[in-house]
Amino acid sequence: MEIPSFPIAIMMVASTADSRIKRTYALAEAKRVSRLLKQEDKETIMKIAENFKWKLRLIPPQHNLLNYHFALDFTDYIKNAAIMQDKKWKLSNRLLSKGEVFLTKVEVCRLLEEEVRRYIEQKLQVKVKSLSPSMTNHINRLKQIFYEKRGKTSWEDIPSEVIIVAYPPCIKKLHETISSGRHISHIGRFTLTTFLINIGMSTENVVDLFRSFADFNERMTRYQVEHLAGLKGSRTKYISPKCDTLRTHGVCLGMDDICRRVRHPLAYYRKKLITLKTEAPVASGHD
């Protein structure tokens, strides 16, 4: 029954048109595959990897290569490892030689799990046209159950006014720099603008921040800010880059206590707001 049930499950999940349900489903399927994979021998793993067009190679045991049994092309590696949080998956912490990353069997299984997850998520991108009423009812009931269990969370608990004291250190620095009219890098401008838009600052106030620049062009700045806010062009509202990316580009200043517990400047802001609420009345507003 497993094989025909898979396309039906895909169709049902896709028709919920809910990205969280899709993600949850893809992850669950991938985890199941991963569990099964771990019991397979190396040759079977090779075949499955081949199926995903991985350039994977079995390597003979060598004394200087520890427990590594596989070598994987670095492009296949980073496609699947780039989103993993543990430091050991970072390419800069891997043994990389002549374009190949050396891996244990367990690690290959974990990477395949990610490949499967991405594969299923991509399958779930299809738009399902009309379904029979009974099917639709069924799907709605499943949706209901999902929401009851998980609740509906989003950035909604961010207050409408802008609380400067809750800015993370990187944003604070960017804000100070820009306010004094000093030059900031393109990535710095992007980070600051998207951060402010996402915590609810009006585009008007964001545009004002750039006024002190010698080369300020109101029309241009307004267009760019509105573009990032999703009001122009592609209509996508941009989110500020995550901490990891800010570190790469030298925007991160080093970490304070809250930084160590979050991976995104917006998460910092939310966390800090909570601690501020419990501590004392807050100085607020943006002039």
Partner 1 sequence: MRRGMIKIETKAFIQAKFSEYYKKNVSIQPPSSIEKREFGFLLLKERIMLRHKSFKTAEELRNSLKRLVPSNVYYSSAYYERPEEKMEEKGWLGADLVFDIDADHIPTPCAKKHDTWTCTSCKTTGNGTRPEKCPTCNEQKFEEKAWPCEVCLGSAKEEIIKLIDILTKDFGLSAKEMSLGFSGHRGYHLHVESKEISMLDSICRKEIVDYIVGMGLEPQLHGLSGIDGPNLDDYGWKGRLARGTYEYLLTTTPEQLEKIGLRKRNIQDLSEHKERILKSWKYKGPWAMVKGVSLEGWSKIAEQAVKKQAAKIDTVVTTDTHRLIRLTNTLHGKTGLKKTETPITAIEDFDPLESAVAFPNGTAIIFVSEAPEFKIGNQFYGPYKNKKVELPMAAALFLLCKGAAEIAEERSNVR
Residues in contact with partner 1 by CB under 8 A are: 64, 73-75, 78-79, 81-83, 87-88, 90-100, 180-182, 185-187, 214, 233-234, 244-245, 247-250
Read off the amino acid at residue 72.
L
**Is 158 within 8 Å of 199 (Cβ atoms)?**
yes
**Closest CB 283 distance from partner 1, rounded Å:** 25
**Closest CB 75 distance from partner 1, rounded Å:** 5
Q: How far is CA 210 from CA 162, 207, 229, 241, in A?
A: 17, 6, 16, 20
**Closest CB 115 distance from partner 1, rounded Å:** 14
Q: What is the dihedral of CA 172, 177, 178, 180, to 10 degrees?
A: 120
Residue closer to partner 1 by CB (options 200, 233) is: 233
Residue closer to partner 1 by CB (options 203, 245) is: 245
**Closest CB 89 distance from partner 1, rounded Å:** 9
Angle between helix axes 105-123 and 2-16 (nearest 10 degrees) is: 60
CA angle 172, 236, 165 (to 5 degrees): 15
Residue closer to partner 1 by CB (options 119, 146) is: 119
**Is 28 within 8 Å of 113 (Cβ atoms)?**
no
Q: Is residue 70 within a helix (H) or strand (E), and if so which, with residue range?
A: strand 70-73
Residue closer to partner 1 by CB (options 76, 113) is: 76
**Closest CB 158 distance from partner 1, rounded Å:** 25
Residue closer to partner 1 by CB (options 176, 256) is: 176
